């Protein structure tokens, strides 16, 4: 029994952010759905660069995560345990993505948020890799892979945006 539990936990970590489904109470309304696919932030223009330009701008780990849809190991990326107040921005284009006011401890080892800083900051796409159906989260400005969104988050949205720390920079709130 213990071996099965350990194997299940290792599988979750290998696939990144995935947690077993949490059963909702019958009187709990269904969670909100994440923003629709490929919505571009109205205040910005799309950022498009070649692979070579991205490789020059990003660290190897940032490039692997954001441009090649990689996942950092749990509990190793920047900002997963950051408790400071501020804003998380895309490493690719600097767009504001998430606020520390919406961050919560999910226990997964990746920074988790119950909503983006604004709905148009992120886009979503269906992700059917690894024999699973998930929802991928992307920066709406530069299409950087950020992570995935799940429907087992806290109220008020019921969503858990499980985001790779290497996909973001953190700007501390000025006092």
Q: Is position 72 within any domain?
A: yes
Q: Cα 103 from chain centroid?
A: 11
Residue-number span of the structural domain to which 52 is assigned:
2-17+35-172
Number of domains in the chain: 1
Counts for the chain of helices (H) and strands (E), in that order: 3, 9
Q: How many CB atoms within 10 Å of residue 126?
A: 9
- Considering the domain boundaries, does residue 23 fall inside one? no
Q: Which residue has the higher pLDDT, 33 or 77?
A: 77
What percent of the chain has pLDDT above 70?
75
CA distance 77 to 153: 21
pLDDT in tens, 36-79: 434 444 445 899 999 999 999 999 999 999 999 999 999 999 98
pLDDT at 33: 44
Any domain includes 160:
yes
CATH of the domain at 115: 2.170.150.20
Contact 123, 35 (CB under 8 A): yes
Residue 136 to residue 18: CA distance in whole angstroms:
12
Residue 28 within any structural domain of the chain: no
63, part of any domain: yes
Higher pLDDT, 61 or 21: 61
Pick the closest to residue 90 from 57, 60, 126, 114 (CA basis).
57
Residue 83 lies in a domain: yes
**Any catalytic annotation for residue 142?**
no
Question: In whole angstroms, what is the distance from residue 111 CA to residue 39 CA?
Answer: 23
**What are the backbone angles phi and psi of residue 137, rounded to the nearest 5°?**
-110, 130
Catalytic residue among 90, 93, 139, 162: 162
pTM assigned to the model:
0.77
**55 found inside a domain:** yes
pLDDT over 90 for what percent of the chain?
68
Residue 44 placed within a domain: yes
Least confident of 4-8, 121-125, 148-152, 159-163: 4-8
């Amino acid at each position: 029994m213990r071996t099965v539990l350990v194997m299940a936990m290792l599988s979750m970590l290998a696939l990144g952010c995935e947690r077993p489904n949490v059963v909702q109470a019958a009187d709990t309304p269904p969670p909100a759905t994440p923003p629709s696919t490929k919505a571009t932030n109205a205040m910005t223009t799309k950022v498009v660069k070649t692979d070579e330009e991205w490789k020059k701008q990003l660290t190897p780990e940032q490039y692997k995560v954001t441009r090649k849809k990689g996942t950092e190991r749990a509990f190793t990326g920047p900002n997963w345990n950051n408790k400071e107040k501020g804003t998380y921005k895309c490493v690719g284009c600097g767009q504001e993505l998430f606020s520390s006011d919406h961050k919560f401890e999910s226990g997964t080892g990746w920074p988790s948020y119950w909503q983006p800083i604004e709905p148009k900051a992120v886009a979503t796409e269906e992700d059917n890799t690894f024999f699973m159906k998930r929802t991928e989260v992307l920066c709406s400005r530069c299409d950087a892979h950020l992570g995935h969104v799940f429907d087992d988050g806290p109220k008020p949205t019921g969503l858990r945006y499980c985001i790779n720390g290497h996909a973001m920079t953190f700007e501390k709130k000025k006092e």
